[in-house]
Structures are given as structure tokens and as C-alpha cells.
Structure 1
Amino acid sequence: MHYARRAQPPPSPLPQRAGIDPVRLRLPPDPDGQWPDLGSYLTARYAGTRGARSIAHLLAAGRVLGPGGRVLDARDPYEPGGYLWFHRDMEPEPPVPFAVRVVHRDPHLLVVDKPHFLATTPRGSHITQTALARLREELDLPALSPAHRLDRLTAGLVMFSIRPEDRGAYQLLFQRRKVHKEYEALAPHDPALALPRTVRSRIEKARGVIAATEVPGGDPNAESLIELVEARGGLGRYRLTPRTGRTHQLRVHMNALGVPILGDPVYPRVTDPAADDYRRPLQLLARVLEFTDPVTGAAHRFESGRTLRAWDDRAGWEAGSADEER
């Protein structure tokens, strides 16, 4: 049986702005003729959202474009299946004053060492202050895309695909658990806690709720190997090896063991520090990525060059001194 290939959308008439792609909309079918013109559709689509006033402004300013760069007007006839593009007006973001370090770059793959507090990809209020947007701009790689994601508060290694045709191969590595990942964490040391141990549980996260929770019963969907590497002064340095990839998995498992990771603003309780409060970073680091490259066949092992500050300067970290993030 042959299936028709899905038609590719026309090329965008708008370039990226600050490393961010324009919004692309494809106009849906309108069998009842409820949208006589483009403006009525966009008004209905964004009704009740913060974007309602913005889209009206963009239309009036000639900043909504169709294929080939044609400026669209609110009075233009509605064309089901048509495409349009625009850039949203972005709110100012506090700059994250730490560098993204390139660990490896070849024609297919980019591996970087991300600082704490920098999101991997645009989401919510973090748009231009993300690793993806910064790297697209700094390295002139507009087609760059993430192979996986790392929490904003977690530092360490992140992989990106440079060419669109390679993106699926690198993403599948993570989906099929073909990447060996090791994390380092600093947390209280409990001599009574028997380690190493494998923690298995069921973790669920509700939309709009910041904390994930362990749910009793049901099949486990999260598994982590927890090992103590070193202990001194009541503090432990732990090697964490996740065997699954649930949201906040390592943070949830460490908290469940009674040794929450230092600087965690969610576990054991939500403290909600300001987005630009960089004084006490979460002491969690994506230390190692190891895999066979699905495009080149090369065997890779990458290690982060960052250190978790509280291990050598716990007093300074707890005091929230303004030393550069390492």
C-alpha cells in the first residue's frame, strides 16, 4: 500500500530573530464558513489569551506574512490550508550571565556544557535566554535543534543536532535509551542510608504543577542507580545513573531517600526563588554522555568540565556569594 507523502510547508519568509523561529500557522478547514476573513479567524483563535491584542497589533503593523513574504491584512479572505508567519513581541528577559561551553562540534553533532539557570529550549517565560537560541546566534547555526533536554536548573552536557536530516537519529538515541548518562549531585550524607541502591518508583507530574510526585501502586516508570562517591563534613557527593527519563526523576528519588539535592527549590518543598536569583544553584550536574554516534558510527564519551561549587566552598554557596557559576 502506498501513502501520499505529506506536503512540506512553504519556506518561511521571515528569518529567525534572536535565534527564535517565527510562529507558523496553517489555516484549518472552515466547512461552515464561520470565518469570512483572516482577521475573524485570528481573533477567534487567540480570544481570551494574552495574544489577542498582540495579533491585532501585528496585523495592523503589517508584520503577519504569507508565502513569498506577502503582507497579510485582517480583511484578506480566509484561505483554508494556507500558511502565515509572524514574530511575537517578546517580553524582556533577565540575562543569564553564564557562558555555554562547546565540548564537541562536527558537521552533524554539537555537544555543549550548559550552565545552571539556562533553559535548554524556549518555554514559558524563557525564550531568548536559552541554550538553543544563544547557540543558533553565537555559532551561526539556524537549523540547530536539541536531541534531548536538560532542566533549566541543572548544569552539564546537552546534545544538539546540527543538520535537520540528522535530528531524528540523535533523538532516537535517547528515546531508545541508547545513551549512557551519569550525573553528579551534592546532598546531605546519611551514614545509615545503604548505598549503592537502585530506586524504582512510579513518578507522575500534573500539568501546571511544578513538583512531580511518587505514586504508590502501579508499574514503576522511573529507575535510578544511586551511588555515594565521597563524603565529608556531613555532605555527600553522589553518582546518579538514570535508566529512565521522567521529569525531575533524580531530584524526586534523592528526596525520597531523605537526602534532597542541595539548592533544590522544589524538593522537599517549593520555595520559588526569583528567576534571576543565581546565588545558590542546584547542585546537580549532567557529568557524562556516552553513546555510539548513529550518523558516523563513532564511539563517543563526553565529560563536563564544570564543578559543583558547594563541594569546595559550602559556606560561600550557602551564603549566596556572587562568585561566577562554574
Structure 2
Amino acid sequence: MNATTPDDLQARILYRDGLILVLDKPAGIAVHRGPKGGASLEAGFSALRFGLPRDPALAHRLDRDTAGCLVLGRHHKALEKLGLLFKQGKIGKTYWAVVEGAPQADEGIVDLPLGRLDATRGWWMKVDPQGLPAETHWRVLVRGDGRSLLALTPRTGRTHQLRVHCAASGFPILGDPIYGTGDRDARLHLLARRIEIPLYKNKPPVEAEAPVPEHMQAEVAALLGGLGAE
């Protein structure tokens, strides 16, 4: 499936109104074109105008290998509002991750600052006492045989935060070739499952939930007893 075709992009809309779109981003494609070029999700955003004169634009980022809820602003004022909400930490984000092993407790907080690994590794990150503050709340949804399903809530938005925090805590995300034990052909088992956006005054937050992507369904379904694709 070509994730940037008009039909596929439109089929991936989880929520749409006059200000925003929430897409179900597929894993394995960058959200925007990098310095080396290559395919990107935003290359197909012209299919998401729905009568407006300009393409929608990214309100935030997801890693290439992460699937799930991606928020777009449909015009400049919407992007300004979304940018402020993200900056103020008012947008609720919940990720699902299949991890190797299991935390001993049922929930907790990882509070470890992060910095760049080195100048030659692009955006690869490491725990760094001199780095930027980074905090992740985690909760065990279910434990299985050697693996667990966690709900992760980042309270900051650092690059690769969830991946580094899980690995540093002893439960790396399954299929992570950088911070875990996955090889180059592995698929990262990380999903931006749910997002809550307090966009309108005197109205409930906009909510969207992404389905479990195909490459995660077997593991999630096994852990949840067959309910993983719901």
C-alpha cells in the first residue's frame, strides 16, 4: 500500500473538522522530507485540503518507525493554536508499546534527561545528565511471557524519548534497532494510540484513537487475549 496516495491518506483520517485533521500515520515513512530526500507523508497532503486553498501542515512530529495519531493544522491560525497547546503540554498523548521483559511495578515515572548521542548519529539520543529534562509516565496494561504491553505518556516531547527511556529502564521496545535488540529489518512496536486536544472553549477535548497497525497486531492480540486489533 502506498501511504501517500490520495485514497489511502483520506482513508487514514481519524478526525476532521474546520481546524484540524488527525491521521493514522503508518509506520515506516517519514512525516516530512529529510535532508537526504526520500518519501514522506506530507508529500501527499494536497489530497487533504477538502476545499481549502492550502495544504494542511504538521502540528507535531512522529518518528519514521512510529505509527498512530498525527495532528495536522488546516490553516495558519489552527497551527498557531495547536503549537501553543503542544508547547504548554495541554495535549494528552498516550502511546502503546510492546516491550521486552516487564517492569516490576505496575506503573511509574522515568525522569532522565536526554542529549544527542554524538554529532555523527543525527537524532540518536542518550541519557545525559547535562541534557534536556525528559519525563515519561508508564503503566503496565498486561504482562505476558517475556513481553509486556505498556501505556506510555510523555510529559515532555524529546526526540526518541519513549524509546530511550524504556531501554534505559530495562524494558526496551520490541523491534527497536537503535536502542533495543531489533535488527535492521525489525519493526518498532510503538503506537501513538490516543490523543486528546482541548481545542475549543466550553467543549470536550477532541479525541482520536488509532488502530493497532498490522505489524503489531499479533503481539498485542496475544497479550490482550485476542482484543489487540480493536
TM-score, normalising length from structure 1?
0.59
Relative to structure 1, the CA distance from residue 115 to residue 222 in structure 2 (aligned partners, 3 Å threshold; closer, same or farther) is same
Using the TM superposition, give the Cα deviation of residue 126 of structure 1 relative to its aligned residue in structure 2, in angstroms.
4.5
Larger Rg: 1
Correspondence 1:204 to 2:115: yes
Distance 1:270 1:104 in 2: 33
**Which structure 1 residue ranges, 5 or more long, are not aligned?**
1-94, 315-325
Kept in 2, the 8 Å contact 1:169–1:295? The answer is no
Correspondence 1:180 to 2:92: yes
Relative to structure 1, the CA distance from residue 264 to residue 133 in structure 2 (aligned partners, 3 Å threshold; closer, same or farther) is same
- Larger RCO (CA within 8 A; separation ≥ 6): 2
The within-5 A match list for 1:1-326 is: 99-100=8-9, 101-127=12-38, 129-137=39-47, 139=49, 142-190=54-102, 193-205=104-116, 206-210=118-122, 211-216=124-129, 218=130, 221-268=133-180, 271=183, 273=184, 280-293=186-199, 299-307=205-213, 308-309=216-217, 310-312=219-221
**Aligned pair count?**
213
Distance 1:289 1:250 in 2: 16
Relative to structure 1, the CA distance from residue 306 to residue 190 in structure 2 (aligned partners, 3 Å threshold; closer, same or farther) is closer
- Root-mean-square deviation (CA, aligned residues, Å) is 2.9
Q: Which amino acid aligns with 2:91?
A: V
Relative to structure 1, the CA distance from residue 295 to residue 207 in structure 2 (aligned partners, 3 Å threshold; closer, same or farther) is farther
Relative to structure 1, the CA distance from residue 207 to residue 179 in structure 2 (aligned partners, 3 Å threshold; closer, same or farther) is farther
Distance 1:143 1:294 in 2: 22
Kept in 1, the 8 Å contact 2:4–2:40? The answer is no
Kept in 1, the 8 Å contact 2:4–2:41? The answer is no
Distance 2:163 2:89 in 1: 20
Kept in 2, the 8 Å contact 1:116–1:153? The answer is yes
Relative to structure 1, the CA distance from residue 124 to residue 219 in structure 2 (aligned partners, 3 Å threshold; closer, same or farther) is closer
Using the TM superposition, give the Cα deviation of residue 220 of structure 1 relative to its aligned residue in structure 2, in angstroms.
5.9
Q: Tell me the equivalent position of 1:63.
A: none
Relative to structure 1, the CA distance from residue 253 to residue 151 in structure 2 (aligned partners, 3 Å threshold; closer, same or farther) is same
Q: Which amino acid aligns with 1:231?
A: R
Kept in 1, the 8 Å contact 2:4–2:43? The answer is no
Relative to structure 1, the CA distance from residue 124 to residue 297 in structure 2 (aligned partners, 3 Å threshold; closer, same or farther) is farther
CA deviations on 1:68-117 (whole Å, 9 max, x unpaired) are xxxxxxxxxxxxxxxxxxxxxxxxxxx66894410111121111111101
Kept in 2, the 8 Å contact 1:166–1:295? The answer is no
Kept in 2, the 8 Å contact 1:200–1:220? The answer is no
Distance 1:298 1:311 in 2: 30
Relative to structure 1, the CA distance from residue 270 to residue 204 in structure 2 (aligned partners, 3 Å threshold; closer, same or farther) is farther
Distance 1:202 1:306 in 2: 30
Percent identity of paired positions between Structure 1 and Structure 2: 31
